[in-house]
Amino acid sequence: MLQKPRGTRDFLPEEMEARRTIEWRMREVARRWGYREVCTPEFEDLELFTMRSGEGIVEEMYVFEDKGGRKLALRPEITAAVIRMYINEAKVAPKPLRWCYFADCFRYERPQKGRYRQFWQFGVELIGADTAQADAEVITLSADLLDSTGVEYDLRVGHLSFMRNLLTDLEYPEQRRMMAYLDKKDFDGLKTTLESMNKPDLGASLVSLVECRDLTEAFEIAGTIPGKERIIRTTEYLDAAGVKYSLNFGIARGLDYYTGMVFEGFAQNLGAENQILGGGAYRLAHLFGGDDVASCGFAIGFDRVMVSLGEIRQKKETVVAIACTEEGRTRALKVARIFREAGIRSEMDLMERGLGAQLSHASRSADFAVVIGRREAESGNVTLKNLQSGEQKTLDITAAIAEVSCHGAR
């Protein structure tokens, strides 16, 4: 028997309904903030992703050559594609641009719970606003989006300048190595490496920075930070908006394009794969041949949010079975259409069952049966049977629709 590819999932109707409910809550929040949906291709030129991250990233991607010999990759994330699209299509549009997306990404990772090879991100990119208020808007929106899902999470906000200030004397590859240690919280590895480089004090300062949760103290540890005022103001705006977050100067972020403020969200009830949100301020456009526009954004790991929420009990939709005899069939098809036009989920028998068998199937799959026999076909009325109570009445269509709709509203 054929199976789905490793790291992918099938979603049955119940799960899809739960996913769409949460997706639409997030879409509605994004709409209220003025973030409009964009869509980019599922695959891009490989170069779009290697340009900023180097060839190393190829190992983590689905890379292939098309029949024309072009090197392509399934998108491992959406930010680079959105910025490419901005340069191609919207460079001259009035700023800022507020864009959002809900789309699948592909990463060649070792699958486990919460880590898939195909997964969905709900993301936001704010392009062309380089202010404290812009940073604060994006962080506040990320909290609003997560709140709308009902997930319990911790939001951590940091800024790369602190760490970079301390690392400034190291060569770039060494800086990256140290940031990787900090990202993984491998303090022993960090200290040992810095000791071997004859910089033990740096190790101690970095560890105190990562453990520090206070802005004033962080400025003391890291020295003079460029953009200090902006960082202070961003936190003031977050406080004024009532965002619940903690400061964390150890956030290094895995992707290489971040330039300033960075933030991450963690689900409280998940184990190893508990990061449900990542983002920050970044500059990418200049790499792809555009202006050096400042941007800020984030992506929510939609599948991890769903894992964290667990089984979601959906409000049960009212289902109507349209049952008919042979003489009633043409009329029944019309009645089904009228019920559907009224927004009611209405299903007809497709198995050529007799009326009795239709009703018995309906009692297992529907809340009401609408019966159309010769009498109903002639009169234009319907017989409406409540399949829970067994109560049955003959009504005109408008009254029957009202009765069914009122059941759904209870």
State the residues that interact with ligand HAM by CB under 6 A: 77, 79, 107, 109, 115-116, 119, 121, 123, 125, 254-255, 275-280, 282, 297-299, 301, 303-304
Contact indicator for 274, 267 with CB cutoff of 8 Å: yes
Closer residue to ligand HAM in complex, CB, 158/297: 297
Q: How far is the CB of 45 from ligand HAM (least distance, A)?
A: 17
Q: How far is the CB of 283 from ligand HAM (least distance, A)?
A: 11
Residue nearest to ligand HAM (CB): 301
Phi first, then psi: give them for residue 116, nearest 5 degrees: -125, 165
Q: Which residue has the tokens 């779009």?
A: 48
d(CA 400, CA 317): 17
User: 384 exposed, middle or buried (CB, 10 Å; 0-12, 13-18, 19+)?
Assistant: buried
Q: How far is the CB of 299 from ligand HAM (least distance, A)?
A: 4
Cα 278 to chain centroid, rounded: 11
Closer residue to ligand HAM in complex, CB, 108/219: 108
d(CA 283, CA 261): 12
DSSP tag of 60: G
Closer residue to ligand HAM in complex, CB, 125/367: 125
Q: How far is the CB of 282 from ligand HAM (least distance, A)?
A: 6
Closer residue to ligand HAM in complex, CB, 113/337: 113
Sheet strands side by side (includes 71-74): 43-45, 71-74, 63-65
Closer residue to ligand HAM in complex, CB, 211/256: 256
Q: How far is the CB of 409 from ligand HAM (least distance, A)?
A: 37
Q: How far is the CB of 58 from ligand HAM (least distance, A)?
A: 16
Q: Which of 375, 377, 364, 366 is nearest to 335 (CA)?
A: 377
Closer residue to ligand HAM in complex, CB, 251/401: 251
d(CA 261, CA 282): 8
Give strand ranges (E) for 46-176.
Answer: 63-65, 71-74, 97-106, 118-127, 153-159
